[in-house]
Amino acid sequence: MKIVVCVKQVPDAKDVRLDPNTNTLARDGVQSIMNPYDRHALEEGVRLKEQYGGTVTVLSMGPPQAGETLREAVACGADEAVLVSDRAFAGADTWATTHTLSQAIKKIGGADLILCGKQAIDGDTAQVGPGIAERLGIPYATYVKKVVTCENGAIRLQRMMDDGYDTVEMDLPALMTVVKEINEPRIPSLKGKMKAKSIAITTLNAADIGADPDQIGLKGSTTQVVRVFTPQVRGERAMLTGTVDEVVAQLVEKLESLL
């Protein structure tokens, strides 16, 4: 079984600051980590490989330093690492990102099973996993908390819901996004760390994956960030006292004064 796990390098949430002048995320000097949900996706991919056989390829779109995250994934059990990196990808929203990642997956020969974290902790959209599946025309399941079986060309799994869980079966190839409850990610092994140090990361650019220039990067993005700002923290509060009728009257008066 060929398993592809999509991972994203994100700023460490413990260490997020906004640049007070530009109001954008200050990335200088901020530690980068593997998106925590992707860790669980990787662990599940490695466990499925250990149980059913096959290979795990980790895939990431990002700048060259995202290679560190891919090496970390190799230390935790991935067999191969692919980085899709090109200046033309910069500024991509989920529309452009899913085009890029799905093209990359096609380029590396497709996959029987694709795993993603349920969302990234920086953008928090939860759209990339489903988007890749839509673009590849394969079934997908989100919020997976358990894989029950994966055999005879199908995967049976449980999706975490607010009021219990759904059991779903999908034909392979398929994609799933996972929640943290699915497993406890392993600590990298010595052999994994040594492999990670020496592994050659396959690097692909926009031309390599046959990306449509109109579908990538900022240009291919359907969402545009107009302005990022930190909402002003307002400390003022007022207590309205009196009978209910009096308080309502005071409130209406205050609201009217704001119009």
**Site residues, another protein (CB under 8 A):** 186-194, 197
Q: How far is the CB of 186 from another protein (least distance, A)?
A: 6
Q: How far is the CB of 197 from another protein (least distance, A)?
A: 8
Q: How far is the CB of 195 from another protein (least distance, A)?
A: 11
Question: Residue 25's closest CA among 126, 127, 123?
Answer: 123
Do 179 and 145 contact (CB within 8 A), yes or no? Answer: yes
Return the structure tokens found at 34.
């593997």
141 forms bridges with which residues in the sheet? 176
Return the structure tokens found at 141.
């399941």
Q: Quick one: DSSP state of residue 24? A: S
Q: Quick one: DSSP state of residue 85? A: -
Q: How far is the CB of 65 from another protein (least distance, A)?
A: 20
Please say which residue, 78 or 126, places its beta carbon nearer to another protein: 78
Please say which residue, 36 or 188, places its beta carbon nearer to another protein: 188
Do 229 and 23 contact (CB within 8 A), yes or no? Answer: yes
Please say which residue, 17 or 191, places its beta carbon nearer to another protein: 191
Helical packing angle, 128-136 and 94-107, nearest 10°: 50
Q: How far is the CB of 31 from another protein (least distance, A)?
A: 16
Which amino acid makes up residue 216? I
Please say which residue, 91 or 188, places its beta carbon nearer to another protein: 188
Do 87 and 214 contact (CB within 8 A), yes or no? Answer: no
Please say which residue, 5 or 46, places its beta carbon nearer to another protein: 46
Q: How far is the CB of 116 from another protein (least distance, A)?
A: 24
Please say which residue, 192 or 220, places its beta carbon nearer to another protein: 192
N-to-C CA span, the chain: 63
Burial 58-87 (b: 16+ CB within 10 A, else e): bbbbbeeebbbbbbbbbbbbbbbbbbbbbe
* Phi-psi category of residue 128: left, alpha or beta, with phi > 0 → left and psi -120 to 50 → alpha: alpha
